[in-house]
Structure 1
Amino acid sequence: MTTTCATSGCCLSALSPTRRTDMNFTTIFAQYKIARETLATLSPEQQEALERAAWGADWSTDAGGGMLSPLLPLQMPPDPEPGGAAPPQTRALDFPWADRATAGQARQAAQAQLVVFDVSSAAPLGGEMRLIHSAHFADMQGDPLIAYAPAPHKLGQQVIQAERADMGLGQLTRTTVFAYRALPPGQEVRTLEARLVFLPRKNQVSKVRWLAAYDHQLQVQGGETRHVCQLRAALDQEGNGKRSFHASTLGSTQLSPLALHALSAGGTRPYATLENETAPAPTPAARHLLDELLNPPVPAPPKVKPPKPPKPPKANRKAKPAPVAPEPVEAASPPEEPAAEPPAPAAPVSEAPATDIPAPEVPATEPPAPQPAPDPWAAIDARIAVDEDVLAVSRAALERRRPLLLTGAPGTGKTLLATLLAEVLCGPGNFTLVTADARWTSSEVLGGLRVMPGEGLRYSFVPGVVTRAAQRHRESMQATGRPHALIIDEFNRAHQDEAFGRLLTLLDPAYRSQMPLVGVQDGAPEDVFLPADFVLIATMNDADVGRLHEIGSALQRRFVTVPVGVPAGERAFLERSWAHLPAGTLGTLYDFVGSGDPVSDREAGRLRGFVTVGTFFMEEVLGMATDLGLDRALRSQVAPQLGSLGRSDLAALEARARQTGLPKLAAQLATAGQQAPF
């Protein structure tokens, strides 16, 4: 029996008006594979038993002699609440095997993989219009992945059936599977889906119903394989009013290539890289359409017509002319006060029509003086609680194009501040955000030769994160005149000498034109230089300094280092942002957590006297308090902070919780104190 997605409307946006959590993807699936090499290690009897059981479970054989399961549907993550975050959804995969006698051996021999398809489906809407579902995939930087075509017949048929069920028009849906790729556990892939109204006669998209981007990977934990999926951005215009989730990031360099490809003539070619074929350049119409979606024009104010002057009454032809008053006789001697002017004689009645009488002139009014444009730097503190000094030093460093390093404890808003600084300097979404990794080498940072998938042993140059950002910087300067920023989050998670050693000299702008980032000797087709006005922002968790890689003085002196702590205006910011919460909630929270002064908070037994928690922690608690109440919300968020505390510290926090009126939190702290090793 073939496993397909039987849910009608499978790929409706995750932001549909009615929240639905049982929707399946129709262009990315899981699949189990038993490789031919694994089968060869079994006895002939075991092989025969596995093969016989596999046919009963509708498995098939690939070109290499391996065994493949049917495609397994993957469920979409639920719709995030308005204004809330979209945490990753993790779901265990079922193993499609009916024979109990061989199930254990088959499960041990099988390895799961993601199978992702580049697809375009079309269905008639009436007249000249078509409904298009366009789905594409890329790596986590938005670059095309090498893919393969055509898709095996059985896999292609399963995708077509799922798409027909999704579009709801059965046989009227025409689906083209352009390419596919299989990915092992641990490898991430980003997918973007678009539902569009397409006009074939004009060969262009006339309306975007929704766009949604997701990140996927398989993880193996304790012998169980799980699908991890996270909604990255979505824009829904199908429901009752426009709704969005991080829609502005659809214009970022990681997502805009996929979105623009989908909007270019309805996705008639794959975004993935096939052999000797690359994705076509997006059309100007697609760029204009995406820009309108993310930056809708402000409607012009209605024109107000000036009131018409009243018409004078029509002359009565039968009326007699008014008598002319005789002029007054002058007195013999002039009066002490000047006499008033005599009235003018009445005008004779005119025979001309009333329309010949000119309208009275309306005095012209001067247009109002234009308002000065608001300073975008000044708007940052409306979106994040940040000290004025932190913002001033960061601005000065970035305007001089000096690399910036934001340091601080977890939850102080370093990453959010980095993205806001990048957007002010470079424009919305015009930045690359990556997280440093302990496995990084110079190849991941700058680039190098890598083995490419496919038949035979082939090497190709793959640019690293800094080289890709430098190339995007040049493209941005040519297109918009503004730079492109690179943000490296968790900077000290990478081995500094191994990952950034070759970059050390180039962080100084004076040497960037003298030596390339990568060159022909690295396998690159040409020398790539780091632009003199390149924007680099890094963040570092100073709470993990002892457990992660240290930053040497030679590297650190090339950055402008800005410590980010608990801002002085945090409480006022939270009062504005959470004004809808019941009165007293914020006061109770601060009574337990503290203001951020370590000495006074420790003396009073408040949380910030023992561990550093930032504004992000406070907002997470307040967000959960809306549904759970403050006591339960604090209990869930405080638990990860208790690992390094001793019995005396936990006892002080327990006493503060009871005094503040948080009994559930106090009970949790009492239990933690009993279990503390010291």
Structure 2
Amino acid sequence: MTWRIFTGNDRADPASEPWQRLPEPPPWRRRDVAITHFVLTEELLDAVNAALHLRRPLLLTGAPGSGKSTLVSLIAAELSLGDPLNWYITSRSTLADGLFQYDALGRLHATQARAEALQVEDYVTLGPLGTALASRDKPRAVLIDEIDKSDFDLPSDLLNVLEEGEFDIPPLVRAARLDEGHTGRPVLQEIRGADRQKYAVDGGVIRRTHWPVIIMTSNGERAFPAPFLRRCVRFEMATPTVTFLESVVDGYLDQVKGKDRQKITEFAQRLVAGERLAVDQLLNYLYLVTGDYGIDATIRERLENTLLEELSGR
């Protein structure tokens, strides 16, 4: 396979479909393969089972790229929980983002345009956590990724909703009260979830039928309040050892030998020394230099400088 898919000076004929030169993604970039080769330690396995028995969120702390977010897919696959519902946290995330979104502006425009069959529930969409709480046929798995990026109040607010197991959707509550006043019968509404499925809502209130499986990840960039930590099962991913890294590499690549294998030891030593590195950096490098790309020593050196650089944030 040619190393330089892109040369910077070629103007291929579009009719030849030059995009077909693009290779398949590396195996760890595919979720179905990644969960098959995920390396579980006995300690992490016990932490997961403790969280499942106690119906508590599992808070995973570790360096970026250590596989924290892959774990939820592995749990969901083994327990047949459906595709995980992913909530990626930013500094602007609020509890409402995880529960539901209401497109008030869209409804206003539709009202002004006199759209037919205008229903409030058409403008409400459940968030990842709201979808999990609304699920009635089975529990759902939720990834709350990088919760340490959130504002101070979100972690505690989040666990309060999980403990109570219900929340109101105000525009639906108002609409249900009006309809019930007209008909004298309880109102059952249907809204779209984060997984694009439809969920029934009784009078604008979501009430938990099943306890969701919650995995929260943190890069260890902030401290959490004690009440929040008390209501989680906590697990800190250990600094990867040479043996662990070899297991990960061998799970995806089968031609890592000689000086390339020595890179695994060097990478582990850098981690022990306190450098911020992600395991997939090592995988990326070894995947390319051991592949059938015709990479020479000069390109290898450039790739090492590019792909194995410390995550300093510069």
Contact 2:85–2:129 at 8 Å: present in 1 too? no
1:174-189 equivalent positions in 2, closer than 5 A: none
Q: How does 1:530-545 map to 2 (within 5 A)?
A: 530-542=208-220, 544-545=221-222
Alignment partner of 1:410 is 2:74? no
* 2:259 paired with 1:584: yes
Q: Which residue matches 2:55?
A: 401
Instruction: Determine the C-alpha separation between the residues in 2 that align with 1:456 and 1:406.
Output: 46
CA distance in 2 between counterparts of 1:518 and 1:418 reads: 27
Task: Report the alpha carbon displacement of residue 414 of structure 1 after superposing the two structures with TM.
Answer: 0.7
Q: Is the 8 A contact 2:65 2:278 kept in 1?
A: yes
- Give secondary structure in 1 for the equivalent of 2:19: coil
- The residue number in structure 1 matching 2:143 is 487
TM-score (norm 2): 0.67
Flag structure 2 segments of 5+ consecutive residues without an equivalent: 1-13, 113-117, 175-202
Q: 1:527 matched to which residue of 2?
A: 205
In structure 2, give the amino acid aligned to 1:564: M
**Matching residue of 2:304:** 634
Pairwise CA distance, 1:611? 0.9
Which of 227, 233, 240 is matched with 1:554 structurally?
227
Shift of 1:85: 6.7
- Cα separation, 2, equivalents of 1:455 and 1:397: 45
Match of 1:422 in 2: 76
Whole-Å separation in 2 of the counterparts to 1:633 and 1:394: 37
- In 2, distance between residues paired with 1:635 and 1:519? 51
Number of matched residues?
Answer: 256
Q: Does the 8 Å CA contact 1:570/1:615 hold for their aligned counterparts?
A: no
**Match for residue 275 of structure 2?**
611
Deviation at 1:532, TM superposition (A): 4.6
Letter paired with 1:491: I
Q: Distance in 2 between matches of 1:522 and 1:561?
A: 36
The 5 Å alignment of 1:277-676 reads 383-427=37-81, 429-447=82-100, 449-453=102-106, 454-456=109-111, 460-471=123-134, 473-475=135-137, 477=138, 483-497=139-153, 499-508=154-163, 511-512=164-165, 516-519=166-169, 523=173, 525-542=203-220, 544-545=221-222, 550-568=223-241, 569-573=243-247, 574-575=249-250, 577-587=252-262, 589-594=263-268, 601=269, 606=270, 608-626=272-290, 627=293, 628=295, 631-642=301-312
2:148 alignment partner, SS class: helix
Mapped to 2, the partners of 1:593 and 1:390 lie a distance apart of 22
Match of 1:21?
A: 19
Inter-partner Cα distance in structure 2 for 1:536 and 1:582: 39
Q: Secondary structure at the match of 2:61?
A: strand
Q: Secondary structure at the match of 2:85?
A: strand
CA 1:519–1:590 in 2, change beyond 3 Å: closer, same or farther? Answer: closer
Q: Does the Cα contact within 8 Å between 2:103 and 2:124 map onto a contact in 1?
A: yes
> 1:485: how far off?
0.7
Q: Greater strand percent: which structure?
A: 1
Question: Equivalent residues in 2 for 1:94-113 (5 A)?
Answer: none
| Higher RCO (C-alpha 8 Å, min separation 6) | 2
Distance 1:533 1:643, change over 3 A: closer
1:484–1:535 CA contact under 8 A, matched in 2: yes
**Rg bigger for which structure?**
1
Is contact 1:517-1:530 (8 Å) kept? no
- SS of 2:167's partner is coil
% of aligned pairs identical?
Answer: 22
Deviation readout 1:394-419 (Å, 9 max, x if unpaired): 12312442211111011211111232
Q: How far off is 1:535 after superposition? A: 1.2
Asked whether the 8 Å contact 1:385–1:567 carries over to 2, the reply is: no
Cα RMSD of the aligned pairs, angstroms, is 3.5
Letter aligned with residue 586 of structure 1: R
Whole-angstrom CA distance in 1 between matches of 2:245 and 2:91: 36
Contact 1:387 1:567 in 2 (8 A): no
Q: Aligned partners of 2:278 and 2:84: how far apart in 1?
A: 25
How many Å separate the matches in 2 of 1:466 and 1:577? 32
The alignment partner of 1:517 has SS state of: strand
Question: What's the secondary structure of 1:433's corresponding residue?
Answer: strand
